[in-house]
Structure 1
């Protein structure tokens, strides 16, 4: 859980400086993979990314292109895809905020692999199953490497401890197996059986195999507690009855 939290913080934390509008613009830029102004026929109105096209120019270009590439009016097999992309581009260019973000992309480019938002954008498009699989693999590898790191740290510590405490005794005993090796061999080595997916499978297996018997034992234990409580209640009632009887007879 700690590793999962760290992965979430590393991925999400630094990406908070990009809002959802910027993310949408990044997605459209990546999908269209073409200069928006050139696609809309507005390239002649640009100079070194200083865009002179007004919102009216954008709307006029949109109406013109709609008549040309609309799926109902075009024989192009990719007309539906092109029309959808053109509509997405139009939604960006007609909105001042989105358009400003796109103009920044023209100057600075999209965030690359060195930026956390690069991975965040891809994670947004993944299903929960894909994210779960990736996180499970990453956590399993990290868990396995950390287990080996802990093993070698413990091995080195005990090795130094043995040399300090038993060095003289080891020199006296020259025949037979090396006691130091026997001592260090008792340290359990990490196993792939201890990684997260195997532990999950083992847990599910244990629940499936032993679950019914555990439930049965739990019910029997609850039944015994109820019976014991009823017996104690009857004993108290009997004691109270005898006490009242003695009082009356006195």
Structure 2
């Protein structure tokens, strides 16, 4: 059975003061929801320990924004998947468009990270999505399919239980633009069909939408048959907004 998931990607935002106020507000708000939704907080790595302490005693889960391509070694500044697991993370983002664009991560590197994430017992939230130019050229489905095929190339068996895919059209991230609910559903349906072709238990894998999700558009997006929740950026930094989005599932 698919899980409803709403994940908060704080990106490079945060402070200990923010951890205390924001997580406190989310923790209290989510506890009041009569919803079957798994809520994940994904802060910058420096604040993982603070957030882990703040979510203690609640159902909130902890995630890491990125992991290294290597298990360990002389890679100054990197954080391994095993380290993330060791400090209490249950989830790891991989392949976010900002990593792909700003840090030149390609499909091969994403696949390497997925393998390490699964080996460490974490759930991989694999981000995929097309640019505006690719969409306007009619290549959106092709680009997303390529990214998914590459990321899942080495996944099989029990590994499928640790896979979540987040569709984030690059042109809708932080721009205020959002794919229509129909457009988002069409892409998610295509993604689920591709998962079936790959031999995955497609009906059991959670598919999330991300890209300028707000309290006023979340309900329509989450009502779609193949959208199981969201990966939330800017709105996750305001506790009331994020809790309302969680309540929209």
Q: Per the shorter chain, which TM-score range?
A: under 0.3
Q: Larger radius of gyration, structure 1 or 2?
A: 1
Which structure has the higher relative contact order (CA within 8 Å, separation 6+)? 2
Q: Please identify which structure carries the higher strand content.
A: 2
Q: Please identify which structure carries the higher helix content.
A: 1
Scaled by the length of structure 2, the TM-score of the pair is 0.25
Scaled by the length of structure 1, the TM-score of the pair is 0.25
